[in-house]
Structure 1
Amino acid sequence: MTRPTTYRWILILVPALASCSGMKNISPHDPLYTGHSIKVVGPASERKKMLPRVADVPRPEPNTKFLWMRPALARYNMLSDSGRTRKFWKNKITAPVLLSQTKPGQVSAALQNRIFHNGYFNNTVTFDTLMIGQRKAAYQYTITLHTPYRFDSIAFPKPVNDLTQKIQASRTASLLKRGDIYSLETAKNERLRIDESLKENGYIFFNADFISIKADTVTGDHDIRAEVTVKPETPPESRIPYTIRNVYIHADHVRENAATDTLQVGNYFLISQNNDLTFKALQNGIFLKPGELYTSSNYLHSVRYLNELPIIRNANMKFVPRGRKGELDATVYLTQRKRLAYSAEFNTVFRSTNYFGPGIIFSYTDRNLNKGAEMLKINLRGRFEVQISQGNVNPAYELGLEFNYIVPRFYPGFLFGLGEKRLPKTNASAGYNLFNRLDLYRMNSVFINFGYLWSQKDRITHSLHPLEVIFTTVPESSKSEAFMDYLAENPGVQRSFDEQFMVGSGYEFTYNPSHGRNNLFLRAGIDMAGNLLNGIYSASKASKDSLGRYILLGVPFSQYIRTRVDLRYSFNFNQRSKLVTRFIVGVGVPVGNSTTMPYIKQFYVGGTNSLRSFVARSVGPGSEAPPTGYTDLTGDIRLEGNLEYRFDLSGKLKGALFMDAGNIWLFNDDEARPHGAFHLDTFLQDIAVSSGWGLRWDFDFIVARLDFAYTLRTPYLPAGERWATNIQFWDPTINIAIGYPF
């Protein structure tokens, strides 16, 4: 931009941004309330603990602010009274929060009450009004902590019957500890713990409200004597454990008076209108067994397992006392989905490789193939895509056919002793895929996969694939002249595109907790190919080809070990902002029968979810300069780190500031790419760095993302010129994508 144009933009933007402060109609007689601060007077360790406990008490919340601006308030000021009532502006504007609308006296009382219930029975709370200029004001609340009250002793009920014996036996897991500061929240959680423990021992009709925890403060100086008792009004049916007598399964519960058939197997009764689910398929998912004690965990496992079956829309259970004292009948009600489903899905995809374009998927699904809730799914897909890179248009299309057969249990079952409660699935899949980069090559691939998937503790998922077979080929007739010239100059790349068999296995571990203020996500995996085949060929002293490779069905098979780790952690500062981090490491090692990793198993960086100022596959390996006209660069090793600060702007609109750093490398030295191998003492010199800002429209069911990225460091430039010195703010790399980058 020329200097006069820059000045004109400044003259326009400065007044416009200043008006976004939202102070237009604020009077000095009733200032704008801008928030509060809380000061805790007391021991340093207690101050640190108390602040998070009282942070959510002060009300009301001030107007949302971004930098110096209050966009929602500014929009409110710009609209007339009638305009503010229009549906379009709902959740996009907010009225000013004025000092006259606040009630600091009530807030002080609420703070005092919250502190009281955290063991500080003698405390004081005061507040001061702080003026910020003439038209803004805030409050400072000062909390003075005195000596807290601590638990001196905890008494549990005497074991005079089975109920009190169970409570007494669980005391070792008690949340009430001698010497701990009293907390009402801890006392409530202790009641819930006792209730949960009893429900694991048959007490289905017990309730946490039947437990009383009395706190006596007269036994000493700031000491509390806690006494846990069962309330006298606890009903008789809540005081005894229950065992399961009969289990009734309504396999297709839709109409109450419809004609049904009943199949009895022992104390199980399968009641069905259509007889389209076998007894064995449903019994596998019911862990409350006749003659066994009721437990809440078995109940939850049963409902969860049945709801996971593809043919089941909804599953619930009811329990009614029947027969002798302490016996229950369990009734399972299942609502089924339609067995057969046909669908056509039209979509537009934005890939991390900067390819985008329309696609279509035709699907056929049978959710109950053999009356055992097995699912067969057949997908036929096609997509036409275009990559626009540095003014060049690179077209491509993809066609694929895939068969998936999923059994909701381990098959064969004797192979695993993990138990059905882990929601196991056995998956067998096969398919064909054609990817044609019209400007470079055409790749055909056929795959067969057999594996298992199971979960653990709602947070951990395991995926084991004992058999993975992939065959890839790139016909010579499909290669462009420019691509063939590049392969001729780079024998290592040529070998990665050769016809290859991959016969191996893989395992992946995922840890993904669904709650907590700060969230950790971990995905780690390893896959290996060719090792068993190499051992067999070596033991049988099979012949090799001219390059020293063993041949399988006329094609050399690949042999490698490949590991990968994806670690993410989010620091949630509050409900409106958080810092999300990601670290990725991947290492592929060609061994034995291979000197390079197969192309489809190599790593790359760049694109909408990686180094966002670089086109996908346009960086690396190492500090190698990308060849002219070819942006499909891959490597054996990947290291990448990402930081992204996410914050709310207004309504569904969110903002982000981000930084990406990383690269790919070769595991072995390559004469054609002398700067591409990984070396521990020099790899930091090969790091590419990008940074930028972005906008996200988060509609809950979908996230539209627009990122503006700038290159800070280019590893393949000459030494001394790799760090950018003249960043053009108005000329970023623009990334359009669906979903968050990580």
Structure 2
Amino acid sequence: MRNNLSKITLLFVIGTIIYSCSLVKRVPESKKLLVKNEIYINDKINKEERINNLLVQQPNTKFLNYPFGLTLYNIAKPNPDSSYQAWLNKKPNRINRLNRFLSAKQVERLGKSFFVSGLSKFIKETGEAPVIIDEKKAQRSKDRLSGFYYNNGFIRNKVTLSIDSIDKKKGKISYKVNTGKPYFIDSISKFIETPIVDSLYALEAKKSFIKKGEQYNFSNFDNERKRITQYLRNNGVYHFQESNIKYDAIIDDSIQKIKVNLKIEDRLVKKGDTLIKKPFGVYKITQVNIFTNNTSKKERNQFNDSVTYRNFNIYSAGKLKYKPKAITNAIFIEKGKLFSDNDRTLTSKSLSNLKVFNYPNIEYIEDPADSTNSSLIANIYLMSKPKYVWQPSIDVTTSDIQQFGISGRMAFTWRNLFKRAETFELSTKGNIGSSRDLANPNNVFFNISEYGLEGKLSFPRIVFPLNTRKIIKKEMLPTTTATIGLTSQRNIGLDKENLTGIFYYNWAPKQGNTIRFDLLNIQFIKNLNPENYFNVYTSSYNTLNNLAQLYNVDPDYLDDNNNLTTQGAVDFINDVENGVITFPSDDNNYKIIRSIGERRLRLIENNLIVSSSITFFKNTKANLLDNNFYSIRTKIESAGNLLSLFANTKNEPLSANGNKTMFGIEYSQYIKGEVDFIKHWDFGKKNTLAMRAFAGLAVPYGNGQSIPFSRSYFSGGSNDNRGWQAYSLGPGRSGGINDFNEANLKLAYSLEYRFRVGGNFYSAFFTDIGNIWNIFDNVTNKEYTFNGLNSLEDLAVGTGIGFRYDFDFFVFRLDLGYKAYDPSREIGERWLKGINFGKTVLNFGINYPF
């Protein structure tokens, strides 16, 4: 034992020495690797992320407290090209020997190959260069700390820094901040030269960000500049800019008070070689000119067609291709209104929303005909997008049923279809594939085919019999979309047709908020040959037939060769599920037979769903780089009510389940609601905490006893609970014995801490909690159903680690999931029994799960 302990200690010491030396491998002799920053605020160490992020230099990124990126960088050869040349010239005959097998050019190219120099370059670019302590950058960090506290009211703060060695070629930087006492706003006065600006300011003075008695904060002054500028420019003061606002501050150190004087002087105008002062004026719009089909500024005055519509002048370089109302409805800059930046922004968004123009160019010029110099002419320049667009695409696919497939799509787009900026898209798609499960007597490789046709018509307005403008204003950028699609699938016997149709509205009540209202959503799925299922999926039939030989099967289920008939296979499954044929508790064949039966029912299921829904979505994300935001999506859907009215007027026979039918198919009737909430916290240094919470419930009623498979919930998979594969978790504590486990209630919660490892490599620790249950439907088994708060014990917990590589335009993701708490196990065996490498669930994905 002592020998082993001494060996372990020796290995630990050697490893520590190697580790310590390797980190400074690329650090020059006279330099130091930055391994630590320390910030002391009033003699107390401060570890706030926002303060630490002010420092210009940060130590190398660490993964599990190990600088993985730096190690990668150190592994790479610093100059692989030079190393290759040195290796060639090390022995005189080496080049001659290589030239016998390769040409001189090939020998030269070998040095630039991936394995000789490319690998080192890739590792070097992926890793992180050592952060060398730079005194100039340290001084900049010191100034930034001082500036930060100054901007937050600590006017007389003092900052010192020191650079200390902590090991060979390693060092740390310590910053000590003495904030001093905070300074407060004592009084606020104003001096505004232009009377009209003074009057406008007085109307909104109470909304000022700068308030007497509050601690000085530079951001309040910055926000007040923006507020005043936006307010004035949205009320006609065309020439006003943020730079016209100045503040004079008188600091009294004896009482730590600041007197603030707001100054807005008249604008400076160049007249000849001199600058003169001129009062600001309030401008009105006297003309709105719209130029379409222009390709350059030279053509702006070359127009062959023009029309005046509702005080808008519309010009075209060729024949006008748009109905005037279609364009003017999207314009908020109007004759007689005051100049407004908001109107210009709304006009740009609205014209872009038409999807028939490139981003518009809007400019204002002073009206030369106005002697009072208080009028503007607005010129709007529009460049049309191509009227016709053809977009072909091709993909290679794979799935559990289709092992290999090739799919293609061609989309034809017509813009401005009815000359009111409508967009019509007609797309066709086709797929051929190969499946081992299908009957294939002629040994044809591609034994699956599918084709479809879809039409989509979009209107940049609300299309409705009643006037909705008072409720949904044009500022909300409303659109109406109608789609209809037909898909036909041929599987050499098991044929399916799918008809879909959607008529919906979209609008944005305010920035970051959108609402979608599906007035009508139709899905009609019909299997043409369900009785041919086991002739098509022969592997399922063979498995079932082999199992039937082991049990006491009704002879009527068998043919003359003692094999199951296709109908006998169905009857055999029914006997197993109904308990006519019993199994020992440890017999896995029951699960196999049940899964085959469940898979068959799902694949031959006919559906008729006619629903309406409304979805509200709010997202506070400011831009692509914003990692401190939240989003919430809520949806309510109702199905079957319209069909129920029609069914009462028709005399169609009831289904075998005693339910009403339309076109010979049971229609679904249910109400469904769900909430999806996502929140991100940005901790800086590419570290983010992401959280997602989801709750959804679908309740069948009337003609429905269960929820259609396409509208039900499942759990597991790369974007859900990653400790389980998709469809393999639940319902409840049942253990996921079906191929497609689904239910009508779902609860889910995920927490993920994302951090940078080095270069473009990122990682994450995650925990996923959730499950699905049956409730208020035709399932009664308590292992599957939600039975009050006690059923929260069925919440499964998956945890693990993720690895990601950022390719800039997308993120490739690999998550290793483990079952931390498995509700399908016995109570004493649920925790941590699924955490080992042999039970790893691999989840591949593109981009982040939420």
Residue 702 and residue 719 in structure 1: after superposition, are their counterparts in 2 closer, same or farther (change >3 A)?
same
Give the one of 518, 533, 541 matched to 2:628.
Answer: 518
- Residue 482 of structure 2 is aligned to residue 428 of structure 1: yes
**How big is each residue's C-alpha offset from its partner over 1:534-560, in whole Å with a ceiling of 9 and x where there is no partner?**
467679999966745333333332211
Tell me which residue corresponds to 1:37.
38
In structure 1, how many angstroms separate the alpha carbons of the residues matched to 2:490 and 2:304? 55
Q: Is the 8 A contact 1:353 1:608 kept in 2?
A: no
- Residue 333 of structure 2 is aligned to residue 288 of structure 1: yes
Give the one of 563, 584, 588 matched to 2:673.
Answer: 563
Q: Is the 8 A contact 2:236 2:283 kept in 1?
A: yes
In structure 1, how many angstroms separate the alpha carbons of the residues matched to 2:703 and 2:234? 55
In structure 1, how many angstroms separate the alpha carbons of the residues matched to 2:436 and 2:720? 17
In structure 1, how many angstroms separate the alpha carbons of the residues matched to 2:762 and 2:18? 18
SS at match of 2:358: strand
Give the one of 516, 523, 541 matched to 1:470.
Answer: 523
SS at match of 1:203: coil
Give the one of 356, 368, 371 matched to 2:419.
Answer: 371
In structure 2, how many angstroms separate the alpha carbons of the residues matched to 1:225 and 1:427? 58
Tell me which residue corresponds to 1:408.
460
SS at match of 1:314: coil
Q: Which range moves more in the overlay, 273-282 or 550-559?
A: 550-559
Give the one of 696, 701, 706 matched to 2:814.
Answer: 706
Q: Which range moves more in the overlay, 301-310 or 654-663?
A: 654-663
- TM-score using structure 1 length: 0.87
Give the one of 53, 57, 72 matched to 2:54.
Answer: 57
Tell me which residue corresponds to 1:70.
67
In structure 1, how many angstroms separate the alpha carbons of the residues matched to 2:152 and 2:220? 9
Q: Is the 8 A contact 2:484 2:499 kept in 1?
A: yes
Once the 2 structures are TM-superposed, how far is the Cα of residue 450 of structure 1 from its aligned partner?
A: 0.9
Q: Is the 8 A contact 2:734 2:783 kept in 1?
A: yes
Residue 105 and residue 259 in structure 1: after superposition, are their counterparts in 2 closer, same or farther (change >3 A)?
closer
Once the 2 structures are TM-superposed, how far is the Cα of residue 470 of structure 1 from its aligned partner?
A: 2.0
Once the 2 structures are TM-superposed, how far is the Cα of residue 520 of structure 1 from its aligned partner?
A: 0.5
Once the 2 structures are TM-superposed, how far is the Cα of residue 237 of structure 1 from its aligned partner?
A: 7.0
Tell me which residue corresponds to 1:588.
698
Structure 2 stretches lacking a partner, 5+ long: 1-7, 83-116, 270-276, 438-446, 535-540, 545-568, 579-596
SS at match of 1:456: coil
In structure 1, how many angstroms separate the alpha carbons of the residues matched to 2:18 and 2:358? 52
SS at match of 2:733: coil
Q: Which range moves more in the overlay, 14-23 or 665-674?
A: 14-23
Structure with the larger strand share: 1
Once the 2 structures are TM-superposed, how far is the Cα of residue 671 of structure 1 from its aligned partner?
A: 5.7
- Residue 286 of structure 2 is aligned to residue 245 of structure 1: yes
Q: Which range moves more in the overlay, 443-452 or 342-351?
A: 342-351
- Residue 646 of structure 2 is aligned to residue 531 of structure 1: no
Structure 1 stretches lacking a partner, 5+ long: 1-6, 390-394
SS at match of 2:330: coil
Q: Which range moves more in the overlay, 102-111 or 201-210?
A: 102-111
Give the one of 292, 300, 313 matched to 1:269.
Answer: 313
Tell me which residue corresponds to 1:573.
683
- Residue 395 of structure 2 is aligned to residue 347 of structure 1: yes
Once the 2 structures are TM-superposed, how far is the Cα of residue 375 of structure 1 from its aligned partner?
A: 0.8
SS at match of 1:734: strand
Tell me which residue corresponds to 2:608.
501
Q: Which range moves more in the overlay, 248-257 or 161-170?
A: 248-257
Tell me which residue corresponds to 2:226.
192
Residue 633 and residue 52 in structure 1: after superposition, are their counterparts in 2 closer, same or farther (change >3 A)?
closer
Tell me which residue corresponds to 1:278.
323
In structure 2, how many angstroms separate the alpha carbons of the residues matched to 1:132 and 1:352? 58
Tell me which residue corresponds to 1:210.
244
Once the 2 structures are TM-superposed, how far is the Cα of residue 498 of structure 1 from its aligned partner?
A: 5.1
Q: Is the 8 A contact 1:621 1:635 kept in 2?
A: yes
Residue 671 and residue 275 in structure 1: after superposition, are their counterparts in 2 closer, same or farther (change >3 A)?
closer
- Output the amino acid matched with 1:680: G
Once the 2 structures are TM-superposed, how far is the Cα of residue 572 of structure 1 from its aligned partner?
A: 1.2
Tell me which residue corresponds to 1:3.
none
- Output the amino acid matched with 1:424: P
Once the 2 structures are TM-superposed, how far is the Cα of residue 442 of structure 1 from its aligned partner?
A: 6.1
- Output the amino acid matched with 1:162: I
Tell me which residue corresponds to 1:328.
376
Q: Which range moves more in the overlay, 430-439 or 211-220?
A: 430-439
Once the 2 structures are TM-superposed, how far is the Cα of residue 633 of structure 1 from its aligned partner?
A: 1.5
Tell me which residue corresponds to 1:691.
799
In structure 1, how many angstroms separate the alpha carbons of the residues matched to 2:40 and 2:218? 23
Q: How does 1:52-131 map to 2 (within 5 A)?
A: 54-83=51-80, 88-89=121-122, 91-99=125-133, 101=135, 104-131=138-165
SS at match of 1:621: coil
In structure 1, how many angstroms separate the alpha carbons of the residues matched to 2:139 and 2:36? 15
Size of the aligned set, in residue pairs, is 721
Q: Is the 8 A contact 1:489 1:672 kept in 2?
A: no
In structure 2, how many angstroms separate the alpha carbons of the residues matched to 1:308 and 1:29? 60
Residue 266 and residue 541 in structure 1: after superposition, are their counterparts in 2 closer, same or farther (change >3 A)?
closer
Residue 704 and residue 348 in structure 1: after superposition, are their counterparts in 2 closer, same or farther (change >3 A)?
farther
Q: Which range moves more in the overlay, 399-408 or 531-540?
A: 531-540
**How big is each residue's C-alpha offset from its partner over 1:623-677, in whole Å with a ceiling of 9 and x where there is no partner?**
22444xx411111011111122222223322222222221111113656744111
In structure 2, how many angstroms separate the alpha carbons of the residues matched to 1:513 and 1:531? 36
- Residue 847 of structure 2 is aligned to residue 739 of structure 1: yes
Once the 2 structures are TM-superposed, how far is the Cα of residue 710 of structure 1 from its aligned partner?
A: 2.1
In structure 2, how many angstroms separate the alpha carbons of the residues matched to 1:486 and 1:369? 55
Residue 671 and residue 640 in structure 1: after superposition, are their counterparts in 2 closer, same or farther (change >3 A)?
closer
Residue 97 and residue 53 in structure 1: after superposition, are their counterparts in 2 closer, same or farther (change >3 A)?
closer
Once the 2 structures are TM-superposed, how far is the Cα of residue 726 of structure 1 from its aligned partner?
A: 5.9
Structure with the larger helix share: 2
- Residue 557 of structure 2 is aligned to residue 447 of structure 1: no
Q: Which range moves more in the overlay, 485-494 or 200-209?
A: 485-494
In structure 2, how many angstroms separate the alpha carbons of the residues matched to 1:565 and 1:436? 38
Give the one of 727, 733, 737 matched to 1:623.
Answer: 733
Q: Which range moves more in the overlay, 707-716 or 217-226?
A: 217-226
Residue 247 and residue 197 in structure 1: after superposition, are their counterparts in 2 closer, same or farther (change >3 A)?
same
Residue 540 and residue 387 in structure 1: after superposition, are their counterparts in 2 closer, same or farther (change >3 A)?
closer
- Output the amino acid matched with 1:337: K
SS at match of 2:637: strand
Q: Which range moves more in the overlay, 367-376 or 467-476?
A: 467-476
**How big is each residue's C-alpha offset from its partner over 1:126-145, in whole Å with a ceiling of 9 and x where there is no partner?**
33445444443212212122
SS at match of 1:720: helix
Q: Percent of pairs identical after alignment?
A: 26
Larger Cα-atom Rg: 2
**How big is each residue's C-alpha offset from its partner over 1:417-455, in whole Å with a ceiling of 9 and x where there is no partner?**
22111111101111124578999x765431221110011
SS at match of 1:217: strand
Tell me which residue corresponds to 2:295.
254
SS at match of 1:600: helix
Tell me which residue corresponds to 1:143.
177
Once the 2 structures are TM-superposed, how far is the Cα of residue 27 of structure 1 from its aligned partner?
A: 7.5
Once the 2 structures are TM-superposed, how far is the Cα of residue 214 of structure 1 from its aligned partner?
A: 1.5
Tell me which residue corresponds to 1:392.
none
SS at match of 2:828: coil
Residue 739 and residue 228 in structure 1: after superposition, are their counterparts in 2 closer, same or farther (change >3 A)?
same
Give the one of 720, 740, 744 matched to 1:632.
Answer: 740
Give the one of 702, 714, 723 matched to 1:613.
Answer: 723
- Output the amino acid matched with 1:264: T
SS at match of 2:70: helix
Once the 2 structures are TM-superposed, how far is the Cα of residue 388 of structure 1 from its aligned partner?
A: 12
Tell me which residue corresponds to 2:257.
223
In structure 2, how many angstroms separate the alpha carbons of the residues matched to 1:357 and 1:676? 36
**How big is each residue's C-alpha offset from its partner over 1:164-219, in whole Å with a ceiling of 9 and x where there is no partner?**
10111111111101121112232122111100000110112210111112112249
SS at match of 1:227: strand
- Output the amino acid matched with 2:337: E
Once the 2 structures are TM-superposed, how far is the Cα of residue 526 of structure 1 from its aligned partner?
A: 0.8
- TM-score using structure 2 length: 0.77
Tell me which residue corresponds to 1:173.
207
